[in-house]
Amino acid sequence: MHRSGFVNIIGLPNVGKSTLMNRLVGERMSIINRKPQTTRHRIIGIVSDEEFQIVFSDTPGLVDDPQYALHEAMNQAVRQAFEDADLMLYMTTPDGQVSNAQAFFKRFKPGEFPVYLVMNKSDLAEPAAISTLLAEYEALEIFDRTFAISALHGAGIDALMAAVLEVLPEGPPYYPKDQLTDKPERFFVSEIIRDKILSLYHQEVPYSCEVDVESFKETEDSKGPITMIRALIYVNRQSQKSILIGKGGEAIKRLGTQARHDIETFLESRVFLDLYVKVRDNWRDDQRTLRRFGY
Ligand code: GDP
Ligand code: MG
């Protein structure tokens, strides 16, 4: 008998969804950063064995007050996570409010699938405090089971995986067994560049940036195989463009060098990276632009 299914990880930004995905899938699946909302797209990670295939998805964090069209698109991703789930993991931390979970499931009704509460970052609280919190979540009568884990340090992961497998429906694999994700490499390249922008620039600049990998070609030069990448960074205003580029182009040069280094590690190939910056007015609210970026 073969089991397969979609396990959708959901929760507020920064609770550790990407960290859990990385641990389960064992690859650098989604970019992890201290700043929230790094991952705007739904990212799939696939764990396969002879007897099963689990398709995990890491849903972008829910935003309660949709101020921008962008945030609406993120909420859309949350809705989608309800549509195809065989199991949902609602992730929180010891800091999380029990009332948030209650409000969330009032707004998005659980469907015909089990929901597990996953208390991540259990390393940051006393076991007694965790037990008390888990009891409060159980009292909501929303969750089929509750777990305390540390995605970062690996505690509780085996028990969680066993419980996931227990409810996985019988069915054939959805993807080839050696596939780890449904996203093309160029998607990860743009996420790596975004990640670098987040760590190198401050305040509102990173949040106004969108990265579009325009071309991605594997070719060869005198030194052997090389990947030629051309990426465009869109910003909202001319002032942001100036900050990105920096005095005499210093800032963008540093960004390019650091991003190229990480992309080379990820692709296991030499990389030539060409970065451009363009101003686009109010892209957050421009539906056409949002569609172009795949929201
Ligand atoms: P996401 O926004 O939900 O995807 O959260 P991330 O996976 O990006 O994690 C946010 C931050 O929490 C990162 O700095 C992680 O290293 C940290 N983190 C994740 N899991 C744990 C954990 O189990 N314990 C601790 N102490 N930190 C964690
Ligand atoms: Mg994330």
Examine the pLDDT at 154 and tell me if it is beyond 90.
yes
pLDDT score, position 128: 97
Contacts of 274 (CB under 8 A, 6+ apart): 228, 229, 230, 231
Q: Ligand 1, atom 27: nearest CA belongs to which residue?
A: 121
Range 68-85 average pLDDT: 68
Tell me the CA–centroid distance for residue 220 and ligand 2, in Å. 35
pLDDT score, position 251: 95
pLDDT in tens, 175-226: 777 666 666 677 778 888 988 998 899 877 877 888 988 888 888 889 988 9
pLDDT in tens, 104-124: 888 777 778 999 999 999 999
Examine the pLDDT at 31 and tell me if it is beyond 50.
no
Q: Ligand 1, atom 17: nearest CA belongs to which residue?
A: 16
Residues 260-276: b if buried by 16+ CB within 10 A, e if exposed? bebbeebbeeebebebe
Q: Which of 18-27, 39-48, 113-122 has the highest mean pLDDT?
A: 113-122
Q: Closest-lying ligand to the alpha carbon of 155?
A: 1
| pLDDT band of 293, cuts 50, 70, 90 | low
Q: Ligand 1, atom 24: nearest CA belongs to which residue?
A: 121
pLDDT score, position 115: 95
- Side by side, the strands of the sheet bearing 210-221 are 210-221, 224-235, 270-279
Tell me the CA–centroid distance for residue 19 and ligand 1, in Å. 6
Task: Tell me how far apart the alpha carbons of residues 12 and 62 are, in angstroms, rounded to a whole number.
Answer: 6
Bridge pairing between strands 3-10 and 87-92 = parallel
Task: Tell me how far apart the alpha carbons of residues 163 and 208 are, in angstroms, rounded to a whole number.
Answer: 40
Examine the pLDDT at 282 and tell me if it is beyond 80.
no
Element (H, E) at 222: none
pLDDT score, position 107: 74
Range 265-281 average pLDDT: 88
pLDDT score, position 230: 94
Specify the DSSP class assigned to residue 248.
Answer: G
Of 65-74, 91-100, 165-174, give the lowest mean pLDDT range.
65-74
Q: Which of 63-77, 137-151, 258-272 has the highest mean pLDDT?
A: 137-151
Probe residue for ligand 1, chosen from 9, 12, 19, 160 as the CB with the greatest number of ligand atoms within 8 Å: 19
% of the chain exceeding 90 in pLDDT? 43
**Which amino acid would we find at residue 131?**
S
% of the chain exceeding 70 in pLDDT? 80
Examine the pLDDT at 283 and tell me if it is beyond 50.
yes
Task: Please state the pTM of the whole predicted model.
Answer: 0.67
- State residue 10 phi and psi, 5-degree precision: -135, 150
Residues 177-215: b if buried by 16+ CB within 10 A, e if exposed? eeeebebebeebbbbbbbbbbbebbeeebbbbbbbbbee
Mean residue pLDDT across the chain: 83
Other C-beta atoms closer than 10 Å to the C-beta of 173 total 15
pLDDT score, position 120: 98
Range 44-59 average pLDDT: 84
pLDDT score, position 255: 96
Tell me the CA–centroid distance for residue 111 and ligand 1, in Å. 27
pLDDT score, position 68: 52
Of 5-19, 66-80, 218-232, give the lowest mean pLDDT range.
66-80
Q: What residue ranges line ligand 1, CB within 6 angstroms? A: 11, 13-19, 32, 34, 39, 61, 120-121, 123-124, 150-153
- Side by side, the strands of the sheet bearing 52-58 are 43-48, 52-58, 3-10, 87-92, 115-119, 145-148
**Which amino acid would we find at residue 263?**
I
Residues 71-87: b if buried by 16+ CB within 10 A, e if exposed? bebbbebbeebbeebbb
Q: Is the dihedral of CA 66, 69, 74, 76 positive or negative?
A: positive
Task: Tell me how far apart the alpha carbons of residues 248 and 246 are, in angstroms, rounded to a whole number.
Answer: 6
Of 26-30, 69-73, 223-227, give the lowest mean pLDDT range.
26-30
Residue with tokens 């965790």: 130
**What's the length of the chain?**
295
